[in-house]
């Protein structure tokens, strides 16, 4: 269906008027210079927000419409951002523009799990500036980074800082591991006594020996392992000397790698 609207035009005869032609508007039907009604634009926007460009365009075809994926994406980009509620519990973490090279900061409202903002850098100043604009914060969840801790203290001193669940469990694991490592002799003795007591109660004879680390090799096996290790070491020494000899002769890295049957990173190393 195609609608052709006839609207009225008004002309201003005052010579100083910056706009001498005024056209009648129909705000409930279509926007100025629009090629689709507001109702159709809202329908396409809903599909674009829910499915994106390609999937939304394929589904809208079932309704008899043929918008392109780019049309749906343009409507999504032009749509105003919804008003976000004032955050009270916020999550702060880093995200990677390029892993290992450049990082930013992501800010998430933990009450509804919606992303509130993405900061282009990972710095205490940027986090503090953003938090200062949201005085309603009461709790900020972060990792163990001292950088974020400083930014939260500067931008939201009234907020309580808590560690997220991942790092909380990680702290607990490290503390328990450190404690148990110091108590290893006592734990081994307690395990042996427990196994002996259970064996005596069950009457099953001697208990299974407790694991005490790597299996001990026999002298013959140990000699074989040492001989094999010496052979591998001798082969690497010969390769090392050959690399230096060829390099002193001016051979390029690619040629050295091909002649010795090794990779170029090995030659560089």
**Residue tagged 């972060």 (tokens):** 142
User: Tell me, which fold does domain 89-169 have in CATH?
Assistant: Nucleotidyltransferase; domain 5 (3.30.420)
pTM of the model: 0.48
Contact 192, 210 (CB under 8 A): yes
pLDDT value of position 31: 84
Each domain of the chain, given as residue ranges in start order, spans 9-78, 89-169, 219-268
pLDDT, residue 19, reads 83
pLDDT tens, 113-147?
888 999 999 999 999 999 999 999 999 999 888 89
Q: Are strands 102-109 and 114-119 parallel, antiparallel or unpaired?
A: antiparallel
Residue 91, helix vs strand vs coil: strand
pLDDT of residue 204: 53
Q: Are strands 114-119 and 139-142 parallel, antiparallel or unpaired?
A: unpaired
Specify the higher pLDDT residue, 201 or 255. Answer: 255
Q: Using one digit for the tens of pLDDT, what is the confidence trace for 235-266?
A: 888 888 888 888 888 888 888 888 888 888 88
- Whether the per-residue pLDDT at 164 is higher than 90: the answer is no
Q: What digits encode the pLDDT tens for the residues 30-83?
A: 888 888 889 999 999 999 999 999 999 999 988 888 889 999 999 999 988 777
pLDDT band of 206, cuts 50, 70, 90:
low
- pLDDT of 119 reads 93
Residue 146's pLDDT is what? 87
Q: Which tokens sit at 265?
A: 């990173």
Q: Which of 133, 157, 132, 145 is nearest to 92 (CA)?
A: 145
Q: Is the pLDDT of residue 210 over 60?
A: no
For the stretch 187-191, contacts whose Cβ atoms lie closer than 8 Å and that sit 24 or more positions apart, written own/partner, are 188/212
- What percent of the chain is predicted at pLDDT more than 90? 33
Each residue of 87-103: pLDDT tens digit? 999 999 998 888 878 89
How much is the pLDDT for 182?
85
């Amino acid at each position: 269906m195609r609608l052709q609207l006839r609207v009225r035009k008004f002309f201003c005869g005052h010579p100083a008027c910056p706009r001498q032609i005024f056209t009648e508007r129909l705000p409930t039907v279509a926007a100025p210079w629009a090629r689709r009604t507001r109702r159709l634009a809202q329908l396409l926007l809903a599909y674009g927000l829910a499915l994106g460009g390609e999937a939304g365009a394929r589904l809208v075809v079932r309704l008899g419409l043929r918008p392109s994926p780019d049309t749906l994406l343009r409507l999504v980009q032009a749509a105003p951002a919804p008003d976000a509620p004032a955050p009270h519990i916020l999550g702060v973490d880093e995200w990677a523009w390029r892993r290992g090279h450049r990082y930013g900061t992501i800010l998430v409202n933990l009450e509804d799990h919606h992303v509130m903002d993405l900061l282009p850098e990972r710095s205490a100043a940027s986090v503090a500036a953003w938090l200062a604009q949201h005085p309603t914060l009461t709790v900020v969840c972060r990792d163990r980074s001292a950088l974020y801790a400083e930014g939260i203290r500067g931008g939201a001193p009234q907020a309580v800082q808590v560690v997220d669940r991942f790092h909380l469990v990680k702290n607990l694991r490290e503390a328990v591991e450190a404690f148990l490592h110091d108590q290893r002799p006592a734990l081994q003795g307690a395990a042996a006594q427990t196994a002996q007591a259970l064996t005596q109660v069950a009457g099953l004879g001697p208990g299974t020996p407790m694991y005490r680390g790597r299996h001990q090799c026999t002298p013959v096996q140990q000699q074989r392992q040492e001989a094999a290790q010496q052979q591998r070491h001798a082969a690497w020494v010969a390769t090392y000397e050959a690399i230096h000899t060829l390099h002193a002769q001016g051979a390029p890295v690619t040629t050295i790698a091909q002649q010795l049957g090794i990779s170029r990173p090995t030659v560089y190393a």
